[in-house]
Structure 1
Amino acid sequence: MTPSKMIVEECIVVEGRGDTAAVKQAVDADTIETVGSSVPAHVIAQIKLAASRRGVIILTDPDYPGERIRRIISEAVPACKHAFISKQEAKAARGKGNGVEHARIDAIREALASVRAPVGRAQQNNGLSTQDIRAAGLLAGPDARERRALVGDRLNIGYANGKQFLKRLQMFRIGHEEFHEAVAEVLQQEEEHS
């Protein structure tokens, strides 16, 4: 007997047909394709309808166009949940391509099982500041970008530049303890590999 697929009730927003095919291999779900990084008005209307009826999870590629799409949709439909696949998980096995359509089925399932929901602006103050991110070595220095990506993966908020990283920490209400635990895990991993 084959195990049943994970069922996702929300509609999953992806970038294109290849992403839809990969998601449908991983889980039983419906998708909405943005068909490009401009996200046309009729697609925003579909996403708004889906959000009001079933809920929406945004699962875009971990690159600039994918982040741009995520930002456009989040501004138009703030109630969307977010799932992230790391750049490493999104790399194609054969070295060509980088995105959801190239991710392992397990990576897609894990991303969808670790969905983050945003909180309202009034509730976003988690106490973390730019100084906390800088003190953790995530803003400046030779390894800041890579370290920020690793911490983002651990927290299931994906990679972002310093300013966006702080916004995501606040948007998903990640507190000091959770943040510092993730940083400590990354630093310990760095020590073990050096």
Structure 2
Amino acid sequence: MIKEIIVVEGKDDTVAIKRAVEAETIETGGSAINKEVLERIRLAQERRGVIIFTDPDHAGERIRKIIAREVPGCKHAFLTQEAATSRGDIGVENASVEAIRSALVNVRTDYMAQGTEIGWNDLLEAGLIVHPAAAARRLEMGKRLGIGYCNGKQFYHRCRMFQITKEEFEAARRHLDEEEGAAL
């Protein structure tokens, strides 16, 4: 059984989580997250810890940001859009048992560190911002680092928040560059 309570968007997500692992969930009821739900999440964080596991889409990211802002110290599980898509529908409920388990094994802790080694110049040099293929590169780097896809500013924020080390970042970048080189 997973000790932390997993926060998901809806009932179908709960069903998918329970198919993959033994865990308890809190459902936000979609993007209209209210104070009562936030209070339950806050209590869960204090007593057992929380893993935020929302859909890899705009609404899911919005919910993730609201919860992370209101309830500091949460853990985060991420699915790629590919792993969460079925017949054009994106959501945790569409992910395979293996994809859900993998996301939960690779959970990241929400911790805003001062002096994190990753800087804007690292993102620039890696072609993650101000580059014709920046979005595609961020997508691949987000998969490799386990922090999901996001825009450049949010990618920088997540590198800091999840304490991505310079070594982790450079290893992911090397693999990405090698794969791109092999594809040419």
CA-to-aligned-CA distance 1:68-91 (integer Å, 9 cap, x gap): 000000000011100100111111
Kindly report which structure 2 residues correspond to 1:9-88, keeping only aligned pairs within 5 A, or say none.
9-88=3-82
- The equivalent residue for 2:167 is 177
CA-to-aligned-CA distance 1:101-127 (integer Å, 9 cap, x gap): 1011100000001111122x4x33212
Query: CA, structure 1 residues 171+124, in 2 after alignment: closer, same or farther (shift >3 Å)?
Result: farther
Letter in 1 for 2:166: H
Q: What SS is found at the alignment partner of 1:28? A: coil
Instruction: Provide runs of 4+ in structure 1 moved above 6 Å.
Output: none
1:46, distance to aligned residue in structure 2 (A): 0.5
Letter in 2 for 1:33: E
Q: TM-score scaled by structure 1?
A: 0.91
Letter in 1 for 2:179: Q
Matched positions, count: 184
Letter in 2 for 1:87: Q
- Bigger drift between 22-31 and 126-135 goes to 126-135
Question: Which stretches in structure 2 are left out of the alignment for 5+ residues?
Answer: none
Of 95, 105, 113, which aligns to 1:103? 95
Q: What SS is found at the alignment partner of 2:12? A: helix
Letter in 1 for 2:71: V
Structure 1 contact 13–34 (Cα < 8 Å) conserved: yes
1:179, distance to aligned residue in structure 2 (A): 0.3
Q: CA RMSD in A?
A: 1.1
Q: What SS is found at the alignment partner of 2:69? A: helix
Letter in 2 for 1:13: V
Alignment of 1:157 onto 2:151: no
Structure 1 contact 81–117 (Cα < 8 Å) conserved: yes
1:142, distance to aligned residue in structure 2 (A): 2.4
Identity among equivalent positions (%) equals 48
Q: TM-score scaled by structure 2?
A: 0.96
Q: Provide the C-alpha distance between the structure 2 equivalents of 1:39 and 1:63, rounded to a whole number of angstroms.
A: 16
Structure 1 contact 125–173 (Cα < 8 Å) conserved: no
Question: Which stretches in structure 1 are left out of the alignment for 5+ residues?
Answer: 1-6
Q: What SS is found at the alignment partner of 1:12? A: strand
- The equivalent residue for 2:115 is 125
CA-to-aligned-CA distance 1:13-70 (integer Å, 9 cap, x gap): 0011111110000000001011021211110011011101110000001111000000
